[in-house]
Structure formats: C-alpha cells, structure tokens
C-alpha cells in the first residue's frame, strides 16, 4: 500500500532525528542513511538538509563545517556532490548515484563536469569536450527500459569508464567546437567595429575574466566565451567596449595632465553598463543583431525571432554569478558585495568568516547557495587585486547610464532607429561630446549635470526599468 505524505513526513522526521552531526564521518553516515540531502540549508520538497542535523547553534560554524566536509567527502569519493535536486547543492550517497542517472539521464546541471574536474576525476580537455558536445546528457526519452536496468546495476567506476569513452568520441568533433568559438569571436569583433572601436588602436582577445586595460592609443579588450551560451561573450564584449571607447575618447590634448585622465570608476562603469545592459538588450539592437546571428550561426526558426531574442536577453532570473546577471538582479549582487566589504573594513567580519557570510547573504537575498567558492566569494578578481570599494561604482554607474540614456533619447530622438539599422555614430558622437571629451575637468555630479541638464538622480534609471519590465508585461 502506498505511503501517505503524512507517513513519509513522520518517517523522515524519525530518521533525521537520530542524527546529531559534529564530524565529517558523522556527516557521511547521515547522507548514507537518508540517501541524499541538501548540502546546506533546507529547500523545496520538504527534503532533509545537512543543516538540520548539525550539532551547533553557530551559523558561521555550520557553513564552515558543511563547506569543508562537502569538498573533502567528494574529493575522497565517499559521496557525489552537485547542484541536482531543484538546482540546489545536493549530497548523494554513492549507492544512490546510479538511480539518479537512471531517472534523469544526467546528474545535475550541464556544467556538473566542473565539479568532477575540481575533484581530480576529469581532465580539463575532457571537461571542455563534454561542455561542447553534451555526450553524457541523454534525455529521459532516450533511456530504454533495458538501458535503465543496466545503469541501476552499474558501479560508479564503470560509469566513469563509460563517460571517458564518450569523451574520446567527442574528440572527433573538437574541431567543430573550436570553429564555433572562432565564429563567436568574429561576431563580437563585428559588433565592436560597428560601435566604433578602432582596431588600429586596440585589440580584442579571450580571457577567463573580461577586462579593459591599456595606455592612450592602445587599448586591450577581452571577453569570456562559453560554447553553449552565445550571448555571454557578446554582452561581455559590449561591457568592455563601453569602457574602451570612453578611454579612447579622453581629450588627446590633455593626455599627460591630470585633467586628461578618466573621471573615476563610476563613470567608467556607466559607459560599460550603457552598452551592455541598456543598448545591448534593447529591441533596436536585437533588430540589428539578428542578421549577424543568421550569418555566423545559421540561426533560423521561431526561437531566433526578434521577440524571443529580446525576451531571452532580458530574462530576469536569480543566479550566483554577477557577470551573468540581468539588469534587475545585478544590483542585488552589488549590494551583497558592498555589505561584505563594509563589514570587512569595519572589523565586524573576519576574512576567515567571509565564505560563510557570503553564502548566508546569497541565501537570504538571492535564494541560492553557491556550489563552490569559484561560484561564490572568489568569482570576482577585485578583492584579489586589492580593489576594495570598487563594487558600488557599478551601482552608481547604472544610475548614471539610465540618466544619460534618457537624455540621449530626448536630444537625439532617432537614436533607436539608427541602432536598429546598425548605425551607432549618433550615439558615439553624443557620448564623445558630452562625456568622453570632458576627461577629469568636472566632477561626476557636475559632468552628469553638464551632459543631461539635470542633477544626478536615480529617477531616470527607475523610469527606464519600470517602462521596460512593468509597462511591457
């Protein structure tokens, strides 16, 4: 007779109540007893979570224990760890891993191979091949009854052998993957040229973290590419191109004087966010972009329609990574970092407590917990470079960008039609005259007043967001 939900809940409470965990060994016994559980806090489905049984009242100690144990137990191959159940970090007893494969066809997110690579169970090349080919991601429909029965009987070691065989097959198509990435770079270069980036005074390359650096007359721009996400490199290139055009537009006659320098990071980021978030996600830009996608990718079908592309680029969804965030949740990422910086510099938060504090704030404000430090407190390069106090410039920059965009449309009503036609000269000319050419002659508030005729205010940015995300719905 099937168990009722109430009976299942009572049984779960009984099993979980038997465990009080203070050691790694006790944590492993708990996971093996329940089969699988959330790695940190509880989540959807009324499923058990490791935090439910940790024998301490200290939130900081809970995060410290859980974070350390999940890394060690996974690397020692005592359990499987990944973002699996409801996209939350999950610990799975090795005895249950075959059942997850049998039921879903693939455990965790498409990039779960990253976790396997961090644990030393997967070579970097193999990880890239899997990311490009998706050989291990078989859909539920493709699992026949015979295959499902076989998978249930497989050991973890045998599954790893089969996965490795898939990687060897993937070597046959690695050339196609590299060709696709080359096309992606070519497309970004085409976009940058149209925006006005002069390749005789700079260059564009690939890096793990996008950046813009250089000297007057020689600006280097990079972006990060992801084979399965064609817009990540594009938006990163737009962000860095905005900053590069600002640097290249500073007054040449004042280049060796303080007044000829940039006016600070808030203004730098306003130029980046103007192109990445506002222009690059606009309907006008999508209208111009679609033929490029058809040319370089052979994009066709309803999924590549102007409307679908626009909605894809403006989809609002919580995620762990700041650089991949939409323009609404982006500000939440900035607020999280500012809060932690403030507490670190005041002495309220010790560096050794940063990981736990980050994870707690992420859970509170974004409703998710990073799967690793790479996805959490180490995802940005700023703190490693000693660049504390930088993150608020993104928030202020977004406000400035909103005010500049409102003023551009007021004084140049045809700008959106020009963008839709791939003509960015009017936009760049306005920015050159009102912003770039000013250098450090004026303070940021005075420069914004000079450019727009109004004092710096968050109101234009809020109007922009309301029109885009409220009025259009």
Which strands, in side-by-side order, build the sheet including 218-223? Answer: 202-206, 218-223, 212-215
Alpha-carbon distance of 117 to 122, in angstroms, equals 4
One-letter-per-residue 3-state SS of 102-153:
HHHCCCCCCCCHHHHHHCCCCCHHHHHHHHHHCCCCCCHHHCCHHHHHHHHH
Alpha-carbon distance of 243 to 42, in angstroms, equals 42
Q: Which pair of tokens denotes residue 133?
A: 């080919």
Strands (E), 274-313: none
Task: Give residue 190's region: left, alpha or beta (phi > 0; psi -120 to 50).
Answer: alpha
Measured in whole angstroms, how far is the alpha carbon of residue 264 from the centre of its chain? Answer: 25
Catalytic residues: 240
Q: Which pair of tokens denotes residue 171?
A: 């070597």
Residues composing the chain = 473
Which strands, in side-by-side order, build the sheet including 36-38? Answer: 36-38, 89-93, 79-83
Task: Tell me if residue 363 falls in helix, strand or coil.
Answer: helix
For residue 48, give the H/E element and its range: none
């Amino acid at each position: 007779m099937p168990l009722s939900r109430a009976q299942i809940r009572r049984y779960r409470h009984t099993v979980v109540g038997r465990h009080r965990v203070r050691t790694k060994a006790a944590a492993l016994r708990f996971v093996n007893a329940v089969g699988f559980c959330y790695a940190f806090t509880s989540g959807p489905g009324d499923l058990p979570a490791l935090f439910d049984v940790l024998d301490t009242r200290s939130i900081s100690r809970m995060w410290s224990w859980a974070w350390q144990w999940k890394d060690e137990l996974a690397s020692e191959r005592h359990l499987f760890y990944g973002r699996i159940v409801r996209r939350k970090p999950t610990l799975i007893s090795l005895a249950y891993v075959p059942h997850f494969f049998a039921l879903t066809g693939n455990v965790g997110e498409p990039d779960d191979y990253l976790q396997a690579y961090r644990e030393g169970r997967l070579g970097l090349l193999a990880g890239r091949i899997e990311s490009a080919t998706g050989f291990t991601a078989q859909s539920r429909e493709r699992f026949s009854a015979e295959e499902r029965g076989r998978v249930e009987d497989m050991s973890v070691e045998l599954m790893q052998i089969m996965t490795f065989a898939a990687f060897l097959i993937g070597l046959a198509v690695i050339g196609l993957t590299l060709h696709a990435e080359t096309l992606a770079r070519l497309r970004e270069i085409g976009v940058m040229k149209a925006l006005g980036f002069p390749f005789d005074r700079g260059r564009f390359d690939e890096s793990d973290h996008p950046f813009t650096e250089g000297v007057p007359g020689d600006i280097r721009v990079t972006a990060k590419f992801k084979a399965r996400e064609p817009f990540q490199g594009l938006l990163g290139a737009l962000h860095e191109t905005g900053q590069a055009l600002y640097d290249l537009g500073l007054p040449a006659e004042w280049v060796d004087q303080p007044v000829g320098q940039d006016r600070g990071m808030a203004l730098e980021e306003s130029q980046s966010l103007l192109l990445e978030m506002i222009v690059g996600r606009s309907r006008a830009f999508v209208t111009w972009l679609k033929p490029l996608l058809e040319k370089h990718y052979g994009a066709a079908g309803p999924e590549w329609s102007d409307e679908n592309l626009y909605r894809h680029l403006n989809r609002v969804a919580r995620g762990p990574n700041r650089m991949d965030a939409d323009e609404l949740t982006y500000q939440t990422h900035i607020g999280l970092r500012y809060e932690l910086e403030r507490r670190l510099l005041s002495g309220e938060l010790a560096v050794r407590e940063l990981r736990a504090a980050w994870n707690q704030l992420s859970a509170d404000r974004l409703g998710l917990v990073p799967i690793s430090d790479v996805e959490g407190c180490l995802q940005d390069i700023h703190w490693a470079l000693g660049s504390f106090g930088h993150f608020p410039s993104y928030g202020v920059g977004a406000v400035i960008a909103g005010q500049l965009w409102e003023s551009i449309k007021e004084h140049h009503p045809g700008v959106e039609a020009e963008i839709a036609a791939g003509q960015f000269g009017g936009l760049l000319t306005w920015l050159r005259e009102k912003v770039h050419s000013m250098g450090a002659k004026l303070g940021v508030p005075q420069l914004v007043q000079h450019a727009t005729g109004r004092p710096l205010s968050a109101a234009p940015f809020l109007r922009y967001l309301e029109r885009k995300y409220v009025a259009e719905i």
